[in-house]
Amino acid sequence: MIYLDNAATSFYRPPQVAEAVVQAMTSLGNAARGTHGAAMAGARAVFEARQTLADFFGAEGPEQVAFTANATESLNMAVKGLLNPGDTAVTTVMEHNSVLRPLYEMEAKGVNLKMISTDAVGRLDMEAMKRAVFSGAAAVFCTHASNLTGNVNDIRQIGRWCREAGAVFVVDASQSGGILPIHMKEDFIDVLCFTGHKGLMGPQGTGGICLRKGIFIRPLVTGGSGIKTFDRKHPEVMPEALEAGTLNGHGIRGLKAGVDYIQRIGIDEIFRKENVLARAFYDRVCEIPGIRIYGDFENPVRIPVIALNLGDEDSGRVSDWLAVEGDICTRSGGHCAPLMHRAFGTESQGMVRFSFSSFNTMEDVKAAAAALKNYE
């Protein structure tokens, strides 16, 4: 099998990740639910993961990292916990449905929603973004990298504008975490939402949200927190403010192992290798008659995602053929990015997405490109 669907979830993971999960399942109790040895071991494991992620993302401290099940949960927290009727929210057509659908819900409740468009190759209209930020935006919700085109947004510039204008800047790092450097302070990020099962190489069911100190988000879920049992209100102190119920301690331990691996190898080296593979694939397939490839390939900074179509062929048929004939795993369809497909005119056709990992090889690239050239 040649697995080229890493933008959906990592498949090849460092062996340390599985080892960490197994070790956690046989040794950890419930974090913050007791003072006996197993519970304290669980609490230490969770704290160590918070510290690792705070350092990795440039957060202001481990207490500013709250764990969730995935980026969708984190983004729902941010959208529904920050906005109020009458607020103006700014977002982009590049967003995933995990941003768009919660925003549409808030729009129905009285939030004014402004949508920033892209150009013909999917690059964000930065001048329109600047105007929107300085036109009374309460919050800006922006993906760091498109899960469809691989294009990367200049979050540092957008973050600087948001800080100057007093708008809360929320970044979706689902596709960039573990691939591109992110530093909350240097990038002027107020809220960072991430998932653990993609570039961070952790288990599915892990993710998180990092807050800048001074930012308050209404909790999406309330309940048991391990502290202040007799209060009628859920705690407002971080990280418990955004965590209710038992955490996925086993998965969190695996997530830490994934981030430890990235730090040991070096994020720049991982990016370099993935970029070499993606570019080699692009160079091999761009001359196929009738092929259409979407995205900005002039910018060297992009995530290792290549979405394409072969003439008018349905993307699902192409993806299925690759799976059956070459055991090549890709993703077809709409990729939960409806506005980008509308912009490209591919709502009915979809796209075939190839997404690479540092665990892929040049042999994978050559085989996938050859299969695509031989499509029948």
pLDDT in tens, 261-290: 999 999 999 999 999 999 999 999 999 999
Domains of the chain: 15-265 (3.40.640.10), 266-373 (3.90.1150.10)
Amino acid at 175: Q
Per the prediction, the chain carries an average pLDDT of: 97
| The pLDDT of residue 269 | 98
DSSP conformation letters of 257-288: HHHHHHHHH-HHHHHHHHHHHHHHHHHHHTTS
Span 357-371, mean pLDDT?
98
**Local confidence band at 213 (pLDDT 50, 70, 90 cut-offs):** very high
Calpha distance 293→309 (Å, rounded): 7
| The pLDDT of residue 324 | 97
Chain CA centroid to CA 27, Å: 30
Three-state DSSP class for residue 166:
coil
Nearest Cα to Cα of residue 174 among 277, 260, 284, 99? 99
Span 56-77, mean pLDDT?
98
Calpha distance 339→141 (Å, rounded): 15
Place of tokens 């009285």: 110
Calpha distance 45→171 (Å, rounded): 26
Calpha distance 81→78 (Å, rounded): 5
Chain segment 282-312, per-residue pLDDT in tens: 999 999 999 999 999 999 999 999 999 999 9
Chain segment 323-359, per-residue pLDDT in tens: 999 999 999 999 999 999 999 999 999 999 999 999 9
| The pLDDT of residue 331 | 98
Provide the terminal-to-terminal Cα distance of the chain, rounded to the nearest Å. Answer: 20
| The pLDDT of residue 227 | 83
Calpha distance 322→150 (Å, rounded): 21
